[in-house]
Amino acid sequence: MSVDQLHELPIHQAQKLLHSREISARELTDACLNRLASVEPHVNALLTVCSEHALAQASAADRLLASDSAAPLTGIPFIAKDLLCTRGIVTTCGSRMLEGFVPPYDATVIDRLLRQGSVLLGKSNMDEFAMGSSTEHSAFFPSRNPWNRDFVPGGSSGGSAAALSAGEALFTLGSDTGGSIRQPAGFCGVVGLKPTYGRVSRYGLIAFASSLDQIGPFTRDLHDCALVMNAIAGQCHKDSTSAPVSVPDFTSFLNRGVRGLRIGVPKEYFGAGILPEVRTCVEDAILLLERMGAYIHRDISLPSTEYALAAYYIIAPSEASANLARFDGVKYGFSRQRATTEDSVTATRGEGFGPEVKRRIMLGTHTLSSGYYNAYYVKALKVRHRINEEFQRAFEQCDLLAVPTSPTVAFPLGSKIHDLLQMYLTDILTIPANIAGIPALSIPCGFTDGLPVGLQLMANRFREDVLIQAGHAYEQATEWHLRHPDL
């Protein structure tokens, strides 16, 4: 492989070349930075590029490789969503409110990767404070889908998905509150994993909805996904919500096949609103899994699924209202000074937040206000409990659930930005996993009109191993994940 093609390598192949000294971390980083410079004007995936920083890290990685003290991800270039704090590097959360903010510390996931000798290339674009499904709500510019640059890459982690799909890094990090890893992964034709709530530390993540947010990887295949999860998963004493659960070697679940696995197909995920071509791709994938030896259960029902979207848009904005109260222009970030403190805070929040963030803050504040708390928020928590119970009953019968990642493929830029209901409905199939706190995975399973289709697999809590096992088996039988956009 020529030097100008190194950016196309999956992690597990690059890892072998690095450890055998056939390539250097500096060469691999240069290849990604060159690719980034070439394609970034077409996809607008990044908010910050850290070229000098990355090259210095690559040189340090080469020293580790030369001393035989390298870790599995030493020298591997990656990009992080811009809501993960990075010491000494601007972290904006896609918002004017944090424009120019430089954190004094690294998020736990960043720290763990840098300790392995991974190379941070930059920070990816996103919907402001992770509130959006298309990356059109970024305060700076919309990102574009590498498969068709007139279409959205999904959101809110659209920049991370587009960057990986375009070959700008070997893996990227995103966050998933209601589908923000899986939906853009599906739209951009890459692998995206939302781990179990508590599996990956949220320390250093600028919170949107604290009981729903989870950090996870975008990768080119499931082998790479397992390698990244090995690096970032595990309890963190700085995050009280990270679970004290042991982390297996996820790579040990590769090549196990699906024979004997029980896969449920809940009927509620195949109803009205699913694009026929999407349904066909997903059903073909399920039939293939059956031919490979999995048992398919088509009598699974999750009847409260229809209430998940409504519950989410009560719980998430309520938590956002509380989390974003700290952005008042007093201590850090954007600030507008007026005659009184009250006027200053009003001006700061009025100018610093975009319309979608303001909308959700107001919705959440209203929901938590006196007279409405029990009628809305408490009721939404009861729905959440019921959804969780239904998932648990389903997992008594099945090891996995297989459904579409999204009702449609990527849609044209600007087509839904003013139609809030249609925009919110793009996450209708991903939100339930966040509500229940279970892990879920999106993998490429076909194309329609030149745009990727995603297959979503869901498993019980802390069973990312089964997702990786089944996803890898499906990959070995197909070639969808090997396709790349022509840029």
* Positions marked active-site: 81, 156, 180
Beta bridge partners of 447: 452
Tally Cβ neighbours within 10 Å of residue 443.
Answer: 30
Looking at this protein, which amino acid is placed at residue 3? V
What whole-number distance in Å separates Cα of residue 159 and Cα of residue 180? Answer: 11
Q: How far apart are CA 439 and CA 243, in angstroms?
A: 14
430 burial (CB, 10 Å; 0-12 / 13-18 / 19+) is buried
The owner of tokens 């610093």 is 352
Whether residue 76 contacts residue 217, with contact meaning beta carbons closer than 8 Å, is answered with no
Distance from C-alpha of 230 to C-alpha of 63, rounded to nearest angstrom: 23
CA 293: distance to chain centroid? 30
What is the crossing angle of helices 308-323 and 379-397, to 10°?
A: 120
Dihedral sign from CA coordinates of 367, 372, 375, 377:
positive
Phi, psi of 124, deg, nearest 5: -95, 155
Q: How far is CA 395 from the centre of its chain?
A: 24
SS3 242: coil
Half-sphere exposure (CA, 13 Å, Cβ side) for 382?
7
Measured in residues, the chain has a length of 487
